[in-house]
Structure 1
Amino acid sequence: MQELLPGETSEPARGQAQDALSRLRLSGPSPVPLPAALALTVGGGGLLFLAFPPVELWPLAFVALIPLLWSLRGARPGRGAVLGLAFGLAFFGATLYWIFLFGALAWFALTTLSATSIALVGAVGPSLLREGRPIRSAIGFASLWTAVDWIRGMFPLGGFTWGSVGISQVDDRTLLPLATIAGVWGITLVVVVVNVLLFEALTGRRGASVRRAGLGVAALTLILAPFAVPFSEPTGDPLDVAVVQVDVRPPPNTSAVQEDLLVARKNIALDRTLVGSTPRPDLVLWGEGALDPAASGDPATMVAVQRAIADVGVPTAVGAVMDDPGGLQRTSELVFGPEGSRIDRYDKVHLVPFGEYVPWRSRLDWISATRQIPVDRTPGSSVHTVDAPGLPPFGTPICFENSFPAIPRAFVRDGATFLVVPVNNASYGFTAASDQHLQMSRMRAVETGRWVVDAAVSGVSAFIDTHGRVLTRSGLFQPGILRAQIRSSTTTTAYVRWGDWLPILAIVLVAILFLIPRRRLPPPATPEPLPPSPRTLVVLPTFNERDTIERVIAGVLERPEHPDVLVVDDSSPDGTAELVRPITARDGRVRLLERPPRSGLASAYLEGFTTAVREGYDLAVEMDSDLSHDPSELSRLLDAARQHDLTVGSRYVAGGSVTNWSRARVALSRGANAYSKVMLGLPIHDATSGYRVYRRALLEELLRTPFAGAGYVFQIELVMRSDRAGFDVGEAPITFREREHGESKISRSIVFEALWKVTRWGLSARLGRGPAAWTRPAHQRR
């Protein structure tokens, strides 16, 4: 049987007047042709790149997403993913151009992996962009972008945060204070919201100038409002800090061992220039990689390091790569006391994939570049502060770790009063990588309310206050001492206290908005009056219902509406048909249709419906043959059928009930119906009930196209298709009684089929598959 999703039928609904089609809008604005859309998205990615170093035209971030939004109008998931990927490839490909220094393969892999996050936004985003609802669209799309960006910072392999939109705004003095409350995620959210509002203002209905102006004012207000949020102010005493920066570039033909020793000697020599300085600094910092393995493992070099520190007489933090017992290698920050002895150590917990270790090394050994990383370093056990004599505790997120907001926050929660970031970006040369990294340190300073000192082995070193301002900085590969006063602090920002609450809220908002149908359906047409005594056919499917079928038939025949009965039996082994045959001989209102064994419940009802339509019945009734449906309640359903095209006997409306079921089973049934109602936007509470009355016009429409479900989900599909076709669907209370004879036909596989199909239909409708999925036609009856 061919499976059709809602809205995939190739013909209009039967009974729909031709002139209604001209007024029927099945979808939003026509999508931009794909070549033009790709050009737009690539251009938008380029605009966003310009908001970051090396160009740093940060206001462009507020409009850079508009080309992508324009291209996504009316896009289905596949097209949206392609457009999002194109945007991501353009943006990340340009922003991460410095990865080319490690080869085209590395650049392509990282760019593509990062771009997949925007592809996900492109696939899902159009379902959150609601035509004519700019505020909801802005909140939904921005929440999606923020949530995906947050997840990108965690998966895969611990995540990668480079290129987060909010980072571009470190020079935006009005918006930046928001980071003290919501972190970089709050700024990302606002920037994306502004993009959507401006897009809606540009593309809104002609003549709606007041509304367009209102959207512009709302966007401007969002940008300016955070200016009222105060930056965190440090509360501690001033500290004099000196950063030692050297030029790590070695002479030609220098071996790796010689290079390590040379860098160490340069740091020692430059550190010694502080001997006798007045006043002496309170803390000296060497960059990450000041002591690489050949130097940290050389006793003579380590003695020289300790002597230099002792001669200066100041606590010193040194970036080192340590070969530990057991063949383990770690990236560390060593803290030496003023007398030169090592007194504390922090080991980097978040290592750089393919930089400090090779994931899946055994499977990737065919890539020659992986052999450039001969040793997989071991991460530290936990984030913790370090201590030095005369200094308050401080945190030392090492290089890559500072790109993750959660790690500096963890240092501050552990008691860090200021942050030292040992940095080694020497491999990236004179590219924008160092300036991009510096932007992250500036954001971390605002988020945590802590001074941040970037101590780079070869630049860029910098001192950053709690407002995210760079007080002083060094150039790249310029040896020297960078020195400034900072202040420690024990204040706690809202972001430090609450953490990543905003992206979690964004995920919840996306889920809620995603579950809301894309379009509100207009009320269905009022059903036409039924005849005073409508002809009614009750369809009774049977398989091994010998113990109950006679009582069910008798109960139906007793109804004052004089319904006819059609028993559809699937060759019941218990002889159900043998009991029905004599009844058909005595009473012409009862007929028997015998079929091959286990032909299925859905097909039994469909054959009954077909018979009802073919023979001109006004109403057809679905009903179980095991006495779980009380024949005496049929009159109530038939009376309700005068107001509805489909009347469902409901257990879960006022007056309805269930007997002989456990609480767990009732809860499961209610949960399944609630899930179906939310996912499919159904207008009733009990879409799984099998006690129903259909009008002939509705059956004519339903029988035009094949059904996707053959089991339990068939009942849900009938309600969904009736509602989508513009027919009136209502409920009447019934009492459901658990069967006393025979066995239930519902299996676990049938339940799973229903769950899968309901989920698939709901997702397909929200993602735009099936143009009429959330649109009710202007139904007119002849």
Structure 2
Amino acid sequence: MTTTSAPVRPALVRTAGRLPARSALAVLGGLSLWLAFPGTAWWPMAPVGVMLMSLSTIGTTARRGFLLGLLGGLACFLPTLHWSGIYVGDTPWIALSVTESLYLAFMGMAIAVVQRRGAVRPGAVAALWVLQELFRSNVPFGGFPWARLAWTTADSPLVRFASIAGAPGLTFVVALLGALLALVVFRLATGQLSLLRLLVPTAATALVGASAFVVPVPTEGKPLQVVGVQGNVPTTGLDFNAQRRAVLDNHVATTKQAARMVADGKIASPELVVWPENSSDIDPTRNADAATGIAQAVGAVGVPVIVGAVLQEPAPKVSNTSMLYLPGRGLVDQYVKQHPVPFAEYMPYRSFFRQFSDKVDLLTTEFAHGKQVGVFDIPTRSGTVKVGPVICFEVAYDAVTRAPVDRGAQLLIVQTNNATFGYTAESEQQLAISQVRAVEHGRSVVHISTVGVSGLITPDGVVHDRSELFTRKVLAGELPLRSAKTMADRWGAIPEYVIGAIAGLLVLIAWRRTRGERATVRRTGTSAPGGGVDPSDKADESTTTPSQTEEEARD
């Protein structure tokens, strides 16, 4: 029986097909993704990262695709999420990074399946990035949608696409750009130098990027004068909780400072004042001193104040709460955080995870899950304004931020506390998410932190009156109110599920086709169409053998 060998590719491609070279591409891709996130915020590196990871999986096996995806994920998430272990040790940080990387590992496996025949598949690659983020944002324990491709675009023209198909659509665009670049590079490397074969993907890349500039991002709306109070904390790290009275006093004093600034003509008279998460970790519904301090602050500014507080209910749990206070009326409404953070605000399977780290017992009291979407009716000089409160990491969850907009919110407020992450990029990463949300929902956002980075964000994603870390600051400005829904809001989660379903279908089709070709190889002893797996991916050789073909069939 005779066999035909796989087509011999140019030396550059044969070399790149070897596992060490593929691994280097995957790691460089992951590091490129890290550089795209705030901290460095070189947003063009996101498509570059996708390009490199896509190239690493061309014509390889599913198992190697898994390994390459894992390597790329670790190279991205270990530095991007380093802030998660600043005060609680390396184990939680590494565990979180490895967990997130596993999603990229399975995505790498899937991309290897659709690119098994030795070609870049831009649409499939982009769809698989969306599917990966869909799973990562929902499972387990409600998911952890940090470090999504969408968040790299906060200060780029691409962010405009968020108003069309939301964060998932934005991820698709970034991944598509990266995959199209990969196609151009692959065709150059394989000697496919015909004008048409190079012009088409190059033109498509340019067209996708340029089309961002024609996506409208309306910013007009009735103005609302707002003040954000960043009161700061006495110390960084976990110890700030032991000084909660000082934190409350800081925010009371800074609010009174804002009132003096109004009286002196330094800032305009506000219609709404917003405090951050944990600005009162002393329950003001049970502690008279805390209630008095907040009442004094509300009286000083004479306008509604939204306070972030921890309530000692429902026992034995506590509630992370946004509370609306009105002058002369006191507390009139509240919102309880719906999506507390696993391992930080509640501990799933505590006894199991204690086997890996005793840090789980640092969390002595767990937070309850809120059951209601929050929309506050704020009386202002020009009428009632609907405000949607979002607390801390909730801003990263699509459904949580979309819900108040669906219920008529004209303004979003993101109350957060970044004191436990020190001088890291975490705060800037979170601010970038709020920037994307502003464009996605066509809403102004008051992003206010106990320690920074805070900012007032207009519906085009631009940050105004930005603060620095661990400073006391009164943020003041005029934000436009909007009620019209963006296309992303009207579509909701439909684009994400449709793209995810298409991605799954493409993988299934590619897998079944590959199985059929392997069956043909076993019957006839000839190579699969397109050359199958790069031979050097198996043994650094330029030809395949029957034994290698059998091994691939088992993969």
User: What's the TM-score, normalizing by structure 1?
Assistant: 0.62
1:332 aligns with 2:321: yes
The alpha-carbon distance between structure 1 residues 293 and 492, as it changes in their structure 2 partners (threshold 3 A), is same
* Distance change >3 Å, CA 772–CA 92, structure 1 → 2: closer
Secondary structure of the corresponding residue to residue 254 of structure 2: helix
Aligned CA distance change for structure 1 residues 340 and 263 (closer, same or farther; 3 Å): farther
The correspondence of residues 265-664 of structure 1 with structure 2, limited to 5 A, is 265-275=249-259, 277-278=262-263, 279-293=268-282, 297-339=286-328, 341-366=330-355, 367-390=357-380, 391-517=384-510
Q: Which residue of the partner structure matches residue 623 of structure 1?
A: none
Change in 2 beyond 3 A, CA 1:320/1:772: closer
The separation in 2 between residues aligned to 1:325 and 1:63, in whole angstroms, is 48
How far residue 147 of structure 1 moved from its aligned partner, in angstroms, is 0.8
Rounded to whole Å, the distance in 2 between the matches of 1:479 and 1:256 is 18
1:129, 1:138 within 8 Å by CA — same for their partners in 2? no
Amino acid at match of 1:146: V
Name the amino acid aligned to 1:303.
Answer: T
Q: What is the rounded CA distance, in whole Å, between the counterparts of 1:96 and 1:26 in structure 2?
A: 42
Amino acid aligned to 1:369? K
Q: Could you tell me whether the CA contact under 8 Å between 1:261 and 1:294 is conserved in 2?
A: no
Deviation at 1:457, TM superposition (A): 1.2
Unaligned runs of 5+ in 1: 1-11, 13-17, 521-678, 683-716, 728-767, 774-782
Instruction: After superposition, give the CA deviation of every residue in 1:380-417 in whole Å (9 maximum; x if it has no partner).
Output: 11212112223311100101100112211111001110
Once the 2 structures are TM-superposed, how far is the Cα of residue 772 of structure 1 from its aligned partner? 7.2
Residue-by-residue CA offset, 1:309-350 (whole Å, 9 max, x unaligned): 123211000000110253331000000002250011000000
Partner of 1:667: none
- Which residue number corresponds to residue 47 of structure 2? 62
Compute the RMSD of aligned alpha carbons.
2.9
Deviation at 1:508, TM superposition (A): 2.2
In structure 2, what is the Cα distance between the partners aligned to 1:42 and 1:23? Answer: 31
Alignment check: 8 A CA contact 1:146 1:503 kept: yes
Q: Distance in 1 between matches of 2:354 and 2:417?
A: 26
Give the 3 Å change call, closer, same or farther, for CA 431–296 of structure 1 in structure 2: farther
* CA displacement at 1:94 relative to structure 2: 0.9
The amino acid that maps onto 2:125 is F
Superimposed CA distance per residue, residues 456-508 of structure 1 (whole angstroms, 9 cap, x where no aligned partner):
11111101111111122111111121100012111000111111222212222
Q: Contact (CA 8 Å) 1:364, 1:370: kept in 2 or not?
A: yes
Structure (1/2) with the larger helix percentage = 2
Counterpart secondary structure, 1:516: helix
- Return closer, same or farther for 1:27/1:726 CA change in 2, 3 Å cut-off: farther
Counterparts of 1:435 and 1:308, CA distance in 2: 28
Partner of 2:91: 105
User: Is the counterpart of residue 177 in structure 1 residue 160 in structure 2?
Assistant: yes
Bigger relative contact order, structure 1 or 2 (CA pairs below 8 A, ≥6 apart): 2
Q: Distance in 2 between matches of 1:126 and 1:97?
A: 29
Alignment of 1:19-168 (within 5 A): 21-22=3-4, 32-101=17-86, 102-129=88-115, 131=117, 134=120, 137-168=121-152
Amino acid across the alignment from 1:283: L
Rounded Cα–Cα distance in structure 2 between residues aligned with 1:197 and 1:489 = 36
Aligned counterparts of 2:427 and 2:478: Cα–Cα separation in 1: 23
SS of match in other structure, 2:49: coil
Residue equivalent to 1:263: 247
Partner of 2:538: none
Give how far 1:519 is off. Answer: 9.9
Q: Match of 1:32, as an amino acid?
A: G
Question: In the TM superposition, what whole-angstrom CA distance separates every residue of 1:231-285 from its partner, at most 9, and x where no partner exists?
Answer: 13343x211101111220249997855x011111111111112336254210011
**1:230 & 1:280 partners in 2: Cα distance?**
32
Q: Which amino acid aligns with 1:170?
A: A
Relative to structure 2, which stretch is displaced further, 489-498 or 33-42? 33-42
CA contact (8 A) 1:296 1:321 kept: no
Q: CA deviation at 1:67?
A: 2.5
For residues 427 and 362 of structure 1, the distance between their equivalents in structure 2, rounded to whole angstroms, comes to 24
Conserved 8 A contact 2:134-2:500: no
Residues of 1 paired with 2:81 and 2:521: CA distance? 52
User: Where does 1:754-773 land on structure 2 (aligned, <5 Å)?
Assistant: 771=552
Q: Which amino acid aligns with 1:426?
A: A
Q: Is the 8 A contact 1:306 1:340 kept in 2?
A: no
- Mapped contact 1:179–1:443 kept (Cα < 8 A): yes
CA contact (8 A) 2:59 2:119 kept: no
Q: Is the 8 A contact 1:244 1:270 kept in 2?
A: yes
1:234-253 → structure 2 map (5 Å cutoff) = 234-235=220-221, 237-250=222-235
| Counterpart Cα distance in 2 of 1:109 and 1:498 | 35
| Letter of the 1:484 counterpart | G
- Provide the residue aligned with 1:225 in structure 2: 211
**Aligned mates of 1:36, 1:280 — CA distance in 2:** 61
Query: Is 1:210 aligned to 2:193, yes or no?
Result: no
Residue segments in structure 2 that go unaligned for 5+ positions in a row? 527-548
Residues 94 and 217 (structure 1), Cα distance of their counterparts in 2 relative to 1, 3 Å cut:
same
- The structural deviation recorded for 1:155 is 0.8
| Distance change >3 Å, CA 165–CA 265, structure 1 → 2 | same
Separation (CA, whole Å) in 2 of partners of 1:133 and 1:71:
11
Number of equivalent positions = 517
Partner SS, residue 74 of structure 2: helix
- Give distance in 1, aligned partners of 2:345 and 2:178: 38
| Preserved CA contact (<8 Å) 2:389 2:414 | yes
Asked if the contact 1:234/1:490 (under 8 Å) is kept, the reply is no
- d(CA) in 2 for partners of 1:157 and 1:168? 24
Give the Cα–Cα distance (whole angstroms) in 2 for the partners of residues 519 and 375 of structure 1.
Answer: 50
- Summarize the Cα distance change of 1:67–1:329 in structure 2 as closer, same or farther, 3 Å threshold: same
Deviations 1:19-61 (A, max 9, x none): xx34665999756222232222212211111111211111111
Partner of 1:562: none
Q: Is the 8 A contact 1:275 1:312 kept in 2?
A: yes
Whether the aligned pair in 2 keeps the contact of 1:272 and 1:308 (CA below 8 Å) is yes
Given residue 104 of structure 2, which amino acid in structure 1 is its aligned partner? Answer: I
Please report the TM-score for the alignment, with normalisation by the length of structure 2. Answer: 0.87
